[in-house]
Amino acid sequence: MIEYLQKLISQALTDLKIEYDDEIVLERARRPEHGHFTANIALVLSSRLRKPPLRIATEIRDLFPEQPDLIEKIEIAPPGFINFFIAPAAFQKIVTQVLAKGDNFGRNDIGRGRKAQVEFVSANPTGPLTVGHGRQAVLGDTVARILEWNGYVVDREYYYNDAGRQMRILGQSVYIRYRQLLGYDDELTKEHYQGEYIREIARSILDQHGDKYDGQSDHAIFRQSAEEAVFTDIRDTLAELDIVFNSYYNEKSLYEDGLIDDVLKRLAERGATYEKEGAIWFRAGKYGAGDDRVLWKSVVDEATYRLPDIAYHETKIKRGYDLIVDIFGADHHATYPDVLAGLQALGYETDRIRVLIHQFVTLTRGGEKIKMSTRQANYVTLRELIEEVGKNVVRYFFIMRGMTSHLNFDLALAKTESDENPVFYLQYAHARICSILRNAVAKGFNDDQRGDLSLLAEEETLALLSTLDEFSEVCRNCSETLEPQPLTSFLHKLAATFHKFYTVHRVISKDRELSKARLDLVRAVRFVLANGLNLLGISAPERM
């Protein structure tokens, strides 16, 4: 409906010979007396046209064709809003549209088959995924689902580093546990990884090889065994959330393929670097970032993490992605501008790169905050969280708040099987509709029979129809903002509007024609609920 009203206004502007290239903004009215939709175009144009907004609004409205089957009336409200009151017949048509498209209702082709890559999680294989990783994992996969739903061809990629200091410490941690299992009194320091998974890896080495590697603290078996075990656990944990990556990109390959040296050389040739104090510095400020940054520490002959990140992102551009989405935690807020600046220094446009920053997660149990430290093993793993509350709850809770908001994950609420739990609330609405439809078949109503939709005219029914009309709009908006949270808000609104409708009106009554119309309506609601839940990666049960 919004798209249609935008076209009406656009045509009126053309008829008035008013040039306007920006998007015409319409919003859903918050109060019933303001109609269903409101446009502020007259207020926007007032200063440019040097006319009162009320006069502009009136001139626009007077050019609209009369179409009582779609628009009941149009009112002009001070200081210059155009308020549209939509006719019931227009909302009733949404049922036919939903039933015609079914599982595909809400899809669109905004992406037009363009290639998109979403990189997320990208944790180094030093330990199990934590709750903090979980938010990024679910956010990244949901963003990928939204892009696919809106016509993009999406690759999910995981970028990691299995070399460097962290991996050396991981190998040392396994060796110390191995020695302890052999009876020695070696001790882990605060620097080492201390989780139970370290002991399990050491036990596996001992079971297979006995004391063969005693005294060989630098032997590759300790690091390699840890890397393999941890990465297998990471992949398996993500698979439990239905998250599967198309590709894994290893930072080490950037060195092996000479890409690090090549980037450093080209930056120098462009005058983007200089040497000072035993290091190679990047002139980040010259390219719109902050202070100059060290790219290479000559003293230790080692790159800082910004250099491989620049080289890695260059591979993304060269791989031909039209849209590149990076999802980082809040700790990356100050670093990603340097990477974009590095790409610009190499001569690349960075408009195709979208960086999403999410805030941290606080896990609470019984009102008490649970501390999380990977090194000290004082944390709840993502796998443990999934086992405790289930996949659906984990996925929903991680995206029910906007990514820029700090997230409190309340375990008590997550385990509640009542309307207080938002996941249960949505799934129960879907299951209730499935129950209604099964009951309808038992009472002789055929799924293929269609009712007279003009009978759907009660206040609660029209509110439900209006809410259904929002779904396609929400899907489009999510693809533009890459923020899934509005979808969770919409689904909750849809479920609440359905429950209100259901408590007031019997779907199957003695009036057979009215019953058929209401069955069509609830079928449409079921499709939209299921489609929305599918976008979130959450199941839509038929029974609960």
pLDDT at residue 377, rounded to an integer: 53
CA dist., res. 82 & res. 12, Å (int): 13
Give the three-state DSSP class for 274: strand
For the entire predicted model, the pTM comes to 0.91
What the block records as the tokens of 425 is 């609330």
List the chain domain ranges: 2-86, 165-240, 419-535
Cα gap 507→509, rounded to integer Å: 6
Q: Could you read off the pLDDT of 45-58 as tens digits, one per residue?
A: 999 999 999 999 99
Detail the DSSP E strand segments found in 99-179: 115-119, 153-160
User: What are 177-189's pLDDT values in tens digits?
Assistant: 999 999 999 999 9
Q: Determine the pLDDT at residue 375.
A: 47
The sheet carrying 37-39 orders its strands as: 26-28, 37-39, 81-86, 71-77
CB contact at 8 A, 32 and 43: no
Given a contact cutoff of 8 angstroms between Cβ atoms, the answer to whether 436 and 507 are in contact is yes
Please report where in the chains the tokens 């990977």 appear, as a residue: 374
Name, in order, each residue with C-beta under 8 angstroms of 483's C-beta and a sequence gap of 6 or more. 402, 403
Nearest residue to 52 (alpha-carbon basis) of 64, 43, 62? 43
CATH 1.10.10.1200 given to domain 2-86: no
Per-residue pLDDT of 212-256, as tens digits, reads 999 999 999 999 999 999 999 999 999 999 999 999 999 999 999
- At 442, which amino acid appears? A
Say if residues 522 and 437 touch (Cβ distance below 8 Å).
Answer: yes
Local structure of residue 449 (DSSP, 8 states): -
- pLDDT at site 371: 65
Specify the pairing of strand 115-119 against strand 323-329.
parallel
Query: Among 158, 147, 146, 143, which Cα is nearest to 113's?
Result: 147
Segment 270-305, tens digit of pLDDT: 999 999 988 999 999 899 888 899 999 876 678 888
Instruction: Select from 3.40.50.170, 2.40.50.100, 1.10.3080.10, 1.10.730.10 the CATH code of 419-535.
Output: 1.10.730.10
pLDDT of residue 162: 86
